[in-house]
Structure 1
Amino acid sequence: MSAAKGGIIRRTSGDYMGMLATVINAVAMQEALEHMGLDVRVQSAVEIKEVCETYIHRKAIRHLEKGRIVIFAAGTGNPFFTTDTAATLRAIEIGADLIVKATKVDGIYDKDPHKFEDAQKIDVMGYNEALIGNIEVMDDTAISLAKDNKLPIVVCNMFKKDNLLHVIKDQQGVFSMVK
């Protein structure tokens, strides 16, 4: 049982700790990408000015216009909102073409492929199907936001080498889509 579920830590405190963890991960990703020679900025929904920039929509757009990679951290800065919802919100705000949900499986399945050998991969699923079928690709708020803004969701395996490159090049078979 987790500390949050056991009542030791309030949900809001647990959510804030999770947001801070995403800042740590974003800074680590920034370091790795900069080591590769890329120009990267981290923007956080929670102000930590000694570590990264505070999220400002116009500044994020300007970084993107200059060809920089922008990593968004700390969700929306509010408890009770998942990182999926925050990622979808930021994608919509910056006018992204799609959102990539990098996870531990190579797409959308009718049931957990790690638990069920007969799990069937679904290549394309509609937003309504994902919501009604309670497919746990992303939370319902994130899927609804994507639906309302016609933002496709690509689901791929983050542990498979070069998978994100395959997604960018639109090589079918390595991912599934909700659209």
Structure 2
Amino acid sequence: MSKWLLATMAFALPSLALAGPHDRRERHENRQEAQQNRQEQRDDRWDLKQLENLIARFDTATSHRHRDALRQVDADLRAYVALELKETRYELSDAQSEVRRDHHELHDARGRREFQDAQHDRRDDVRDVRRESESLKRTRVIQRELEDLYGRMDRNSLHHKRALMMELLQLARAEQAQNRKEIREDRRESREDRRQARDDRY
């Protein structure tokens, strides 16, 4: 074996050793994120279906002036909003943890590619924090407005309540659309990971 080849391997092996753990960690994190996004998509579909059912029940009860049915819708709507707030607080906390982790990865990045990957992840996670924070604030406002409307059967109150339910529906659809987008991004990152793994072997 030539001295030139030995010298080349001496320089290349340390850098490969450094790149390996980062690539494995990134692929592992991408798989975890993809699994979490798929679970969130299933949850969002269930939430959306539940809210659409609530609105349909509300419309039926309103058209028939069925007070008992309207009171039951109120109880179910209150429970739905409380659960939605709990889920959004959890998702916000999770997104904030991701941003803190990204900060450490930026600090520990070795080489241009790792630094760019960490920057990209941090930008996405900061966006998620902002989105979840805005959703939480708006849902809290809706919750407060609904509390003043529960049990009231006059035309204006019913109209206002339905408008708030439609706003909740809009938030739920936006959340579902965002998760679909993130799943597409996960698939793209997975393809890039596989391509990078193939390139690293050669």
Do both proteins adopt the same fold according to a TM-score greater than 0.5, normalized to the shorter chain? no
Task: Considering fraction of residues, name the structure with more strand.
Answer: 1
Greater relative contact order (Cα 8 A, min sep 6): structure 1 or 2?
2
TM-score of the aligned structures, taking structure 2 as reference length:
0.21
TM-score of the aligned structures, taking structure 1 as reference length:
0.23
Q: Which structure would you say has the larger Rg?
A: 2
